[in-house]
Structure 1
Amino acid sequence: MAPKKYLVDLSQIDMNVVLADQEAIEDFNPQRFEMAQMTALVYENLEDHTCVGYKDVGEQDFWVRGHFPEIPLMPGVIMLEAIAQCCSLFCQRNDLLGAEMLGLGGLEEVRFRGAVVPGDRLILICQMTRVRRGRMIVCRFQGVVNGLICVEGLLKGIPIPVSAFQSLTES
């Protein structure tokens, strides 16, 4: 079987030209501390609704000690969280959904094809295939390490009514 094609030609992207670092990411994404799973955004194209970011996987990441002690493998759910944060950042930076916050609405066709370990750079590729302002986005995604697609699938994002949740936590 022929290797899968990337959603974006990574050979044309300079991973050292950072459009948004962790501080800038925090301007749009609410995740903090251990749950912040993006290191940088390095590419975005509004015409074809694509973006590329990455997560530098470190020895001190919160899951390393326990998943698994002898062979630390990045949990699939954390890979998906990193992808979701990349997708959310692109949508929020460019006001595609018109929402205060973007939440995970669903995942489809997800396949894990390789391991991600401390020391790896997980490249996050997102391509919006459908944008319904105020309703939902659909994003095809890939996670790439050392040229290999480790995770791929389809993500659905939905608007989160932040004020409704804030009133629940304040009472």
Structure 2
Amino acid sequence: MDDIKGIMSVLPHRPPFLLIDRIEEVIPGEKVVAVKNVTMNEPFFVGHFPQEPVVPGVLIVEAMAQAGAYAVLKMEEYKGKTAYFGGIDKAKFRQKVVPGDTLRLEVEIIKLKKIAGIGKGTAYVNGKKVCEAEITFMIG
């Protein structure tokens, strides 16, 4: 549905910190499905960990937050705004994510008020849940 160029027209993030490659589905203000193809070229693999590259869990949560931000910022009233982290709750990591994996990021916006909200994110690799978290955000 939207590639990196389209994503960058909505989000302020830029490589190397843009952590989603493609939007597969979006219902603005409600839900989004995004994809991140994990390659050995990710800059964080230089130090995490050189002998056993693993995607840092906090970056999986960040990728979910970026996907959720895309869903909110696609709403007409939030175009041109920025979504900021407000908190992370109930985060669980269930398995390693490594080079060659494709992360499927599903985020449902479960609460949205004028300037803040909560998204419930789940990340999958090959249909298996690898991470989940509730993400609080502010819009400014």
The answer to whether the superposition gives a TM-score over 0.5 is yes
TM-score, reference length from structure 1: 0.77
Deviations 1:104-124 (A, max 9, x none): 111100101111001110110
- Unaligned runs of at least 5 residues, structure 2: none
SS at structure 1 position matched to 2:98: coil
Matched AA of 2:116: M
Query: What is the deviation of 1:98?
Result: 6.6
Could you say which residue in structure 1 is the equivalent of 2:7?
A: 25
Could you say which residue in structure 2 is the equivalent of 1:42?
A: 24
Aligned length: 140
Could you say which residue in structure 1 is the equivalent of 2:63?
A: 82
Displaced runs of 4 or more, over 6 A: none
Q: CA RMSD in A?
A: 1.6
Task: Answer with 1 or 2: which has the greater Rg.
Answer: 1
Identity of aligned residues (%): 24
Query: What is the deviation of 1:97?
Result: 4.9
Q: Which has the higher strand share?
A: 2
Query: What is the deviation of 1:95?
Result: 3.6
Deviations 1:104-155 (A, max 9, x none): 111100101111001110110000111102x211111100011111110100
Query: What is the deviation of 1:99?
Result: 6.7
Alignment match of 1:152 (pick from 114, 132, 135): 132
- Unaligned runs of at least 5 residues, structure 1: 1-18, 161-171
What aligned pairs does 1:1-171 form with structure 2 within 5 A after superposition? 19-46=1-28, 49-95=30-76, 97=78, 100-133=81-114, 135-160=115-140
Q: Select the structure with the greater relative contact order (CA < 8 A; seq sep ≥ 6).
A: 2
- 8 Å Cα contact 2:108-2:120 kept in structure 1: yes
SS at structure 1 position matched to 2:16: helix
Deviations 1:19-60 (A, max 9, x none): 1100000001111121010100001235x8121001000110
